[in-house]
Amino acid sequence: MAVHPGRTERAVRPRRWSGPNLFLTKCAIYAHSRANVTNPQYAALPPDPGLHDTEFTPAATRVAVYAQGGNVKVLKTVPIAAVAVVALALSGCAGGGDEAAETTAASTLSVATWQFLEPTRGDALFDTINGFTADNPDVTLEKVEIARADYEKTLSTQFGAGAGPDVFVIPDAYFPQLADAGLLEPLDDVVSAADPTGLRSINDNYAVDGSQLGLVWEVVPYSLFWNTDILTAAGVEPPTTVDELITAAATITETTGKTGFSVRHQMNEETPWWTDQSNWEFGYGGEWSDGENLTIDSAENVEAVEAFKSVYDSPGFGKGQDASTYRSAFAAGELGMSIDNSSAVMTLVGDAVPADKIGSAVLPFPEGGSAYAGFAIGINANSENKEAAKDFIKWMLSDDAQQSLADTLFPSAIATEVDASDELLSANPWVGAFHEQVNNASSVIIAGFEADTSAIRTIVLTQIERVLTEGVSAEDALAEAQKQSEALTQ
């Protein structure tokens, strides 16, 4: 894959989608259910409980302060009854290529994200992107406000009818379905023309078969962080290895009576645990697949689970604590260390633990890798305003726009390495390590097995929980997970 101008060069495995086009199935299921029509073609389709299973970060984070109510406000309205079903049958849910509507000059450009409904930053976010109109006075931006709970479902229906917003934010787990259905306009020419400063390498996660189909909108990175007062009271230094982490956690508990370290480790938090757990495997040089074959039982993954088990067995670990519990403990000054995402940490800053009492460092794992929770931005291949949409993406990649987005989406990372304002960074010095770690971060969507990630996740985490609680060896547990996952995907 060619490296775009301004992008840090690294070895990148091209992404390929495999398996049936499940996006078409999902569109058909939803249209059938909403239209309440009898059609054997759709009635025969199986239910898909995983359609909305796309969140990888907990509601406690700023990114995940999702508005659950409110109406959808869209520029292009689409009947969700028989019209949607007919459109699905005729268009197959895809509208790209030669059959797409011709691009016309735009007077209104629709932009969709659930984030417009967030009470803490929705208006500020729209004000930021509306800066595009200063350089493009002939274009008016139109908000498309869709509640987070309905986001993928609503867009799928609109895309199935050949409509939908011109530009939209894409949760990572939704991206493979859109790419597989040909619903994303290639952005290679936009990136080349924009020539952005310091484009982050994680943008490569949104390139498919050599074509850039999306760009980073917002990435929530992970890091190790700690309460500096607790570490000082315990007389320990910030750990840089897992062995040091185990020792530090035990010492904190022994000397202060506080929990030394805690992270997710239970199936009752399966979806966010998957992202948290993947930090360990990626940090030990492992991955869940090589793009064509599952690699769940690789030596690197086994070593990572063994390391996690050692930490879990430490007397300083918060066994049984869920994220809500240990996050509240950290905010109250009762937890020494954790690994979590930057948006979660932002919510923990307060009177008990002010920002200048939080230390952070890249993850203490030998190979430096990590996971992230990500959101891309892309252009609807059905859009009649593609040129204006591309101008918007090009503007978004400019230094000034990236600076504004870095401030508005803080503490998340954005498409480029442009930093947030000195004021924000100086007030939150702990953010630096998170932004350093994101440069070695990978998606938790399993390459080559995107549509099966949810089911594989359940298998893998069930086996890892057995390692933690039943004494099963990491080698045996991951071998069983490999076996079950291969059977699932054959």
For the chain, which residues make up each domain, given as ranges? 22-220+373-442, 222-371+444-489
Q: How confident is the model at residue 60 (pLDDT cuts 50, 70, 90)?
A: very low
Three-state DSSP state, 167:
strand
pLDDT at 245: 99
Q: What is the mean pLDDT of residues 305-319?
A: 98
pLDDT at 106: 56
CB 95 within 8 A of CB 162: yes
Q: Is the pLDDT of residue 3 over 80?
A: no
Between 34-38, 172-176, 332-336, the lowest mean confidence (pLDDT) is in 34-38
Q: Is the pLDDT of residue 282 over 70?
A: yes
Distance CA 415, CA 214 (A): 10
Task: Retrieve residue 355's tokens.
Answer: 């920002």
pLDDT at 451: 83
Distance CA 175, CA 168 (A): 11
Mean pLDDT rounded to a whole number for the chain: 84
DSSP structural state of residue 484: H
Q: Do domains 22-220+373-442 and 222-371+444-489 have the same CATH topology?
A: yes
CATH class of 22-220+373-442: alpha beta
Query: Position of tokens 């109250």?
Result: 332
Between 22-36, 150-164, 227-241, 288-302, the lowest mean confidence (pLDDT) is in 22-36
* Per-residue pLDDT tens digits for 400-415: 999 999 999 999 999 9
Q: Is the pLDDT of residue 418 over 80?
A: yes
Between strands 167-171 and 211-212, the pairing is unpaired
Q: What is the mean pLDDT of residues 203-229?
A: 96
Distance CA 226, CA 430 (A): 9
Q: What is the mean pLDDT of residues 357-386?
A: 97
CB 450 within 8 A of CB 17: yes
Neighbour tally for 44: CB within 10 Å: 7
CATH 3.40.190.10 describes domain 222-371+444-489: yes
Distance CA 40, CA 100 (A): 28
CB 116 within 8 A of CB 122: yes
Closest to 437 in 3D by CA, of 202, 275, 233: 202
Task: Retrieve residue 97's tokens.
Answer: 């290529």
Q: What is the mean pLDDT of residues 201-215?
A: 94
- DSSP structure string for 425-446: HHH-TTHHHHHHHGGGEE-SSP
* Per-residue pLDDT tens digits for 444-454: 999 999 889 99
